[in-house]
């Protein structure tokens, strides 16, 4: 059974770069889609970005080109890098797998079927 585990710095200073890693165990990172979602304290969920097995990426415009999502197949990990962080980036960050569901009449759909436990990041000087 696939499991995900986020790792990160916990505390980042404003204007610096946040780097998060999600380690995939119990399965291969190849052949699937992977995503990051965050949740500011006491608030709702915000989708950040995803990457697929071809290396294609998609980002939420809300992060204004500050984000980079990447996959490291040799270590079965994927990562999120967020530059120029501010207090607004303070959140619990979740990584998740986007499971592919083949539609009967062609095409496919992806939904988040496995989530990590989340890692809390605080942006503060």
Partner 1 sequence: DIVMTQSPLSLPVTPGEPASISCRSSQSLLRSNGYNYLDWYLQKPGQSPQVLIFLGSNRASGVPDRFSGSGSGSDFTLKISRVEAEDVGIYFCMQVQQAPRTFGQGTKVEIK
By CB under 8 A, tell whether 66 contacts partner 1: no
CB neighbours of residue 36 within 10 Å? 27
| Per-position x/- string for 73-92, each x denoting binding to partner 1 as judged by CB under 8 A, each - no binding | --------------------
How many CA atoms within 13 Å lie on the side-chain side of 77? 14
Q: Which of 2, 19, 27, 46 binds partner 1 (CB under 8 A)?
A: 46
Distance CA(62)–CA(65), nearest Å, equals 8
Of 10-18, 56-64, 67-75, 79-87: span binding partner 1 (CB under 8 A): 56-64
Q: Which of 13, 26, 87, 109 binds partner 1 (CB under 8 A)?
A: 109
Task: Print burial letters for 104-125: b (CB count within 10 Å at least 16), e (below 16).
Answer: eeeeeeeebebebebbebebee
Interface ranges with partner 1 (CB under 8 A): 37, 44-47, 58-62, 94, 101, 103, 105-107, 109-113, 115-118
């Amino acid at each position: 059974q696939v499991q995900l585990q986020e790792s990160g710095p916990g505390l980042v200073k404003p204007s610096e770069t946040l780097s998060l890693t999600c380690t995939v165990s119990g399965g291969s990172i190849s052949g699937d889609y992977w995503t990051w979602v965050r949740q500011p304290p006491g608030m709702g969920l915000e989708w950040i970005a995803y990457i697929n097995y071809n290396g294609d990426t998609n980002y939420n415009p809300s992060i204004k080109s500050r984000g980079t999502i990447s996959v490291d197949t040799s270590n079965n990990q994927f990562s999120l890098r967020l530059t120029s962080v501010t207090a607004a980036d303070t959140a619990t960050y979740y990584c998740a797998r986007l499971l592919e569901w083949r539609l009967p009449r062609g095409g496919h759909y992806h939904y988040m079927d496995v989530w990590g436990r989340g890692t809390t990041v605080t942006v503060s000087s």
